[in-house]
Structure 1
Amino acid sequence: MSSRLAAGKRKFVEYNGKKLSYLDVGETGAPALLLCHGLAANGAQFAADAIYFSENGYRVVVPDLFGHGYSHPTQMVDLKDCSISALGKDIIAIIDHAEIDEVAFVGNSLGGLVGLGLMKSYKHRLSCFASFGTTYSLQTPKLAIWMLPKIYQLLGKRLVAALGALGVSKKSETRDKVRQMFGECDLSTVIKIAVQIGNYDLIKHAVDFDKPILFLRGLADNSIKPTLGPTLTAMQATSHFKLVDLPDAGHCANLDSPEMFRSELLRFLQAI
């Protein structure tokens, strides 16, 4: 991790049997930007981005979702602690702890789902929303969801990390970073989260969200490309949605195409 990011403060908050961690980078009074990672990754995914946006006038909050990075359980983990709704409440606990009223929410994959979930009950805490590697609805066969925990447990964390890295990018540097982050997660918690996000439909949340939405589509992100039809059909009929293509980016667009990711996101934020 960059020594400059280390100058930002790592903070912890105890909430609902969880010890939640986040990095707080930038000036306290600046507009707040929250960067939320995907499943089995952690806040280190946004280390360089946190520096960039803090230098461009933002206070950047980078959480580790429950079971990821430095965020760990303090008691027995139940399925209800790992739902999209529960992860969203964790984020609210973090921004409450940081004494932030409203954030620009940016999420990758699972992080995007958490933000979409917040739109229903915590719309007033979001100034805008951006995502990449996130489809707003997904229908996975029940058999595949049933098999997932067994496959993860059979493979073990090291092999899950290696296969996960291969699936998110064609770029070796991105794969190395993802492999490292995957190796740092709590696999049992990740499994509990994964089985709950196989089937969902959050499109209405986004349609009803009357604040700016940015969808950064990595054209090399083959993991969600086949599922985007319903999302784009619904959202492109609204006036608050913007689609931007990142030609050389996979599932973790900020790692594959950092300069384009940052410039497009900054343009979006500055236009609000």
Structure 2
Amino acid sequence: MYGLNMQYVAVERFVPIGYSLIGPKKDVPLVICHGLGAYHIQWETEARQLAQSRPVLTIDLRGHGASAVVRNGQIEDYSLERMARDVIGVIEHCGFDRVHFLGNSLGGMIGLEIARTRPDLLRSLVTCGTAFKFKLSPLVVWTKLVIYYLLGRRLPKFIARHATINEAMRPLVEEMYANASRKVMHLIDRQIYIFDRLETAQAFEGHLIVMRGERDTTINRYLDRSIEVLKNKINFHVIDLPGVGHFTNLDQPALFQSCLKEALDRVEESAENACPPS
């Protein structure tokens, strides 16, 4: 069903990270990073379309998709810092020194962590389904674990039914979560139930673009507070997507792709206009 050719690089010893790089060797590359439990197949349509004009690098986070699960992994093996180092390592392995970064949910959190530690790598950061600051109860983390195991083999169908209103995309979601490690998802849940990169977002000097799905109500409850703080920031933009949920590219793919391309074109145009004439 899916055909991106995966390559591998071990940024950290014994933890090979799977990635796919397609597109011409021109213009600023786009790096795409998925959310918790997902992997690169979520983004294959977008990757192939955008790769007509620029390099597109899709990366599977450790413990997801084509990337390795850490043997006897513990909570510290799945910290945002270590996952961000993996992504940075792949970007550098591919020879890129400046990229656009698109992250969905956990992928957006990884993008914000890169903006904190290596802002020089990012020309723009596009997040979707990502709140910049929130705090959940630890009870939520353990309740999710119970649900993961109580649903058993029904978990992929359950997630697919709630993830998207686009029935054509539900088999893709089912495939992703049929291959997802419940242990890895729980270890990451334990890392991210308290998250705060709002100051990072405020300090980031590149273009910061939020793609906000109308139906992503849980995330938006937290995200809207951050948007209020950031609304007057230079190079900060919010793109509202009607009828779109947490898996931002799945409900209305054509709308998402159009808005994303327009946003990246705007960033490139801004960069050109900022350059003094030779």
TM-score, normalising length from structure 2? 0.90
Of 199, 202, 205 in structure 2, the residue corresponding to residue 207 of structure 1 is 202
Aligned runs of 1:127-146 on 2, under 5 Å?
127-146=123-142
1:50 is aligned to 2:63: no
Structure 1 residues 167 and 138 mapped into 2: Cα distance closer, same or farther (>3 Å)?
farther
Partner of 2:71: 75
Distance 2:92 2:239 in 1: 31
Query: Displacement, 1:12?
Result: 0.2
Query: Displacement, 1:74?
Result: 5.3
Helix, strand or coil: the match of 2:101? Answer: strand
Distance 1:43 1:135 in 2: 21
Q: Quick check: 176-185 or 104-113, which moved more?
A: 176-185
Quick check: 1:168–1:221 contact (8 Å CA) kept in 2? no
Query: Displacement, 1:147?
Result: 3.4
Aligned runs of 1:153-164 on 2, under 5 Å?
153-156=149-152, 158-164=153-159
Helix, strand or coil: the match of 1:232? Answer: helix
Aligned AA for 1:139?
Answer: K
Query: Displacement, 1:127?
Result: 0.9
Partner of 1:184: 179
Q: Quick check: 87-96 or 166-175, which moved more?
A: 166-175
Partner of 1:175: 170
Quick check: 2:101–2:111 contact (8 Å CA) kept in 1? yes
Aligned AA for 2:22?
Answer: V
Partner of 1:107: 103
Moved over 6 A (4+): none
Of 244, 250, 260 in structure 1, the residue corresponding to residue 255 of structure 2 is 260
Aligned AA for 2:96?
Answer: I
Q: Quick check: 71-80 or 111-120, which moved more?
A: 71-80
Of 38, 51, 56 in structure 2, the residue corresponding to residue 60 of structure 1 is 56
1:120 is aligned to 2:116: yes
Quick check: 2:62–2:70 contact (8 Å CA) kept in 1? no
Distance 2:140 2:114 in 1: 27
Of 244, 248, 253 in structure 2, the residue corresponding to residue 249 of structure 1 is 244
Aligned AA for 1:171?
Answer: N
Distance 2:263 2:220 in 1: 23
Q: Figure out how many residues of one structure are paired with residues of the other and give that number.
A: 266
Partner of 1:269: 264
Query: Displacement, 1:144?
Result: 1.9
Aligned AA for 1:32?
Answer: P
Aligned AA for 1:52?
Answer: Q
Aligned AA for 1:246?
Answer: L
Distance 2:140 2:95 in 1: 41
Helix, strand or coil: the match of 2:102? Answer: strand
Distance 2:200 2:252 in 1: 28
Distance 1:182 1:239 in 2: 38
Query: Displacement, 1:228?
Result: 2.1
Please list every run of 5 or more consecutive structure 2 residues that lacks an aligned counterpart in the other structure.
268-278
Distance 1:89 1:232 in 2: 27
Please list every run of 5 or more consecutive structure 1 residues that lacks an aligned counterpart in the other structure.
none
Distance 1:171 1:269 in 2: 25
Distance 1:176 1:21 in 2: 22
Quick check: 2:63–2:70 contact (8 Å CA) kept in 1? no
1:240 is aligned to 2:232: no
Of 23, 27, 39 in structure 1, the residue corresponding to residue 24 of structure 2 is 27
Structure 1 residues 160 and 137 mapped into 2: Cα distance closer, same or farther (>3 Å)?
farther
Identity %: 29
Quick check: 2:164–2:250 contact (8 Å CA) kept in 1? no
Distance 1:28 1:81 in 2: 34
Aligned AA for 1:27?
Answer: P
Distance 1:167 1:212 in 2: 32
Quick check: 1:168–1:223 contact (8 Å CA) kept in 2? no
Query: Displacement, 1:148?
Result: 3.1
Aligned AA for 1:25?
Answer: I
Distance 1:82 1:151 in 2: 21
Aligned AA for 2:264?
Answer: L
- For the aligned residue pairs, the C-alpha RMSD in angstroms reads 1.6
